[in-house]
Structures are given as structure tokens and as C-alpha cells.
Amino acid sequence: MRKIREILRLALGEGLSRRATGAATGLPYTTVSDHLVRAVKAGLGWPLPDGMDDAQLEARLFAKTEPPPSASRPLPDWPTVHRELRRKSMTLQLLHLEYKERQPDGYQYTQFCRHYRAWQRHLDVVMRQEHRAGEKLFVDFAGQTIPITDPRTGEITAAQLFVAVLGASSYTYAEALPS
């Protein structure tokens, strides 16, 4: 509080610039500026009112101006969202759009995802496997077909995506195949 009193005396009483006040007090000018803005918002000038001790000065400068926002926004039913995500071609973004149609004052996409991930962390993971190097290879055709365009003819054909992953290292191989 002694430094803050000195900032107020030099800047408001002596009329020094913020940079000069910062140099005199050994503080960055951004800190000086922050304290001066707080003093103006609190209606303080120099000299400070008689009898104002450090606790009163701190209470005036660092008073909470408004209460934190309440968490009154409606949350979706997370088990339903989780179940919907298992459907083919369903994404969190699509589920968020549906949520916003039902709840226009609901959470925006980033907070929607953050809340979903927080809820998802509490799910019980049931399968734990130990993989020794080179022992297991997991293979599958992933998802829907993808369009492949022949650069010479411009013909578009559908292809399946083959994926193979080594269990221990997660080394991945992927190849698009015609069928």
C-alpha cells in the first residue's frame, strides 16, 4: 500500500507522467496506470482523505464492482448428447446447433464443449489393455466412403479408408482402397 500511496502522490499530487512515476517507484508504467485508473474509478485524488488507513484504501481500490455471473444457463442432457454422438455423422457442433435452437440463451460452442468434456471425464472407462511392442495390430475400415478424384479424367469414385494401428506405439497406416 506504501507504493500505491507513492504512485498517487507522484502522479496526482506532483503531476508526473505515468512513466516517470513508474521510474521513481521502480514499478512498470502499466502497473502505475492500473492503480491510477482504479483510483479514478474509486473517486480518489491527492491528498487522500484524512484518516484513511491502508485497509480502507485497499477496500476502495480493489472493491468488487459486480457479482460474478450466475450459472443460470440451461445445460443439455449430457447422457443424451453422449448417446447421440455415437450415431453416424453426428458431431458436437451439430448437437450444439440443436441445443441452441431449443435454448437460444444457452452456452456458446466453446463453453458447450468444455462442459461436455468435463462431464465426459466422469464416465467410467471399462477397457484397459496392455500392448507389448509388435504383438498386436488393430485393423479396420474407418467410417463412410470418401470421394477420390482422378486428376487426369476428373472422374470421382468412392473409396474405403483402411486403417491399421500398432498397439504399443500407436504407429498408424492408412490407405484409400476402391472397395
The three cell numbers locating residue 178: 476402391
Rounded Cα distance between 36 and 39, Å, is 5
* Residue 19: all three cell numbers together: 512513466
Residue 71 has a pLDDT of 60
Question: Reading across the β-sheet that carries 156-166, which strands appear in turn?
Answer: 137-149, 156-166, 172-177
Q: Is the pTM of this model over 0.85?
A: no
Q: Compute the distance between CA of residue 177 and CA of residue 179 in angstroms, rounded to an integer.
A: 6
Listed by start position, the domains of the chain span 2-61, 78-120, 137-177
| DSSP-assigned beta bridge partners for residue 66 | none
Average pLDDT, the chain: 88
Confidence of residue 130 (pLDDT cuts 50, 70, 90): confident
Q: Which CATH number is associated with domain 2-61?
A: 1.10.10
Burial class, 5, CB count within 10 angstroms (exposed 0-12 / middle 13-18 / buried 19+): middle
Q: How confident is the model at residue 162 (pLDDT cuts 50, 70, 90)?
A: very high
Beta-strand ranges (E) seen in the chain are 137-149, 156-166, 172-177
